[in-house]
Structure 1
Amino acid sequence: MSPGGEKLDPIPDSFLLQPPVFHPVIPYVTTIFGGLHTGKMVMLQGVVPQHARRFQVDFQCGCSLQPRPDIAIHFNPRFHTTKPHVICNTLHGGRWQAEARWPGLALQREASFLILFLFGNEAMKVSVNGKHFLHYPYRLPLSRVDTLGIFGDILVKAVGFLNINPFLEGGREYPAGHPFQLKSPRLDVPCSRALSRGLWPGQVIVVRGLVLQESKDFTLSLWDESAHVSVTLRASFTDRTLAWISPWGRKRLVLAPFLFYPQRFFEVLLLCHEGGLKLALNGQGVGATSLSQHALERLAELRISGSIQLYCVHC
């Protein structure tokens, strides 16, 4: 229920995202909103301490202490051996199954890292600092996983729960993992970013944020070299509409579930292609708007305003 007692519109589970977590205390255990499903991605940013021996990231089937819950996926980097490596395994009915081992660990002590856990139809894929590292076939149904646990020698800066980028990115195996802003959990609003070369086919704009409790609207606009607005995407919280606004004020509604409710996390993706921009909300493609190639190349600035906290802006 909303603060005023008004019932919120239903949102499909595939659109739901939970806010990122900054600097959690380890050991850290949290519920995964909506559980895990194909197309979901967990992003982990952090640093391996100088004297780290091992840490583990567990995707668990529940969070009980006794009896111990099943662990569908146990991801366990080990640094204290002669050859650092990663062990993956599954705990079922209190018993560990056969270990799967990967040498050539791409994590180093005293080094920062960005790990992406990408959940496919039959296996979890893991990339470390933008490069594929391993894939681990499921031994328990992914639908049973509802809890994330992080333990051991690790300094975690941020944990993000996202849906994968729905746009094809030249056949690359992983969507680009754009880190959250870590100097401060929030960026200033209004926010402006220069587009030094305009927009070109294949470029993706990423905006992640949280809607404030007292919310009115959210606006993302693209301005050209002459300081004229070329296109605007506006969410109105009062009438729950999302629309493209032309430079002449013409409004065209985006026909998709309205996601911008107070205290809810959101991710907006704009993919530039020949002839305009494609839009995705929380990892789901929801439409496009037309813009000539000449107009795209002349774009010089991205502006963001509204009743939101910003966690990430990438363009």
Structure 2
Amino acid sequence: MSEFSRQRTILNPVVPYLGTIFGGLELGQMVVIHGTVAPDADRFQIDFQCGCSVQPRADIAFHFNPRFKGSGHIVCNTLENERWGWEERTNQMPLTKGKPFEVLILVLPSKFQVSSNGKHLLFYKHRLDFRRIDTIGIHGKVMIEMIGFASQTPLQGSQLISLDASPLNSNKAESTESMDFTLPYAANIPGGFVPGRTMAIKGEIKRDAKRFAIDLRPTGSTDIALHLNPRMKEKVFVRNTYLYESWGEEERCLSEFPFQQEMYFEIIIRCEANHYKVAVNGIHQLEYKHRFKDLNKINLVSIGGDIFLFDVRVW
């Protein structure tokens, strides 16, 4: 995620650890955990709890439990009224015994979204109200270097502009509460998308999504300077340019496809003198050399496809 302010950081807590989350969890908040799995680990767990009571045992809204026997798997569950619910398991195991790791847990309206070591890992739909969570517990064979709590905040010292789906003639930042992000979406970019400017696009991919597209282009022309087109079934992230009534050669190569159905995403596009830089959920993905050379004319963004669009901002 691009713009987070650290609210509180806990360094080198002793495990087992039980600590208060001051102010509880908020929508859009991210919990960042850095640690190292013990060389002889069989399992460890991270629990987001509703209190710290032992008798009766506090409810656990989200139990994240990597287990290392065999090929390894991760168990997620909820404890309510001292009873565990049904286990949700994933056989993906990005954590390795004796190795450092990073786990990011993002709070969304209907679920937690978890990534590890820069890759999407799993979703866990809320079974309890996440606003009840006020305690984090960590147990098992793991060493923790840092627990951080971060919330999205506006940029400091930058002119942040929310792009409504209608032409904007002002450079004044506006509230997103009244903005229309229905698809297909198109908005003017005040001042154009020239070198030094950055755009953030936030949304969620639909459950049955096939593809979506983001286009940067000049108004009054069919040209497309930058076409970003994630295709879910093929698992390819296509980049291209449309000039003189025809598409150029597609660029497709990436080490990992960074999208998944039902995933929340934030795409950051940075315009530099010779190329665009593109990141997804805080991870740099690619550079794309300019084929449309008259950068001063790029003043329109259009978005369509199988997503829910939440926000589009430029600075």
Provide TM-score, normalisation by structure 2: 0.48
Provide TM-score, normalisation by structure 1: 0.48
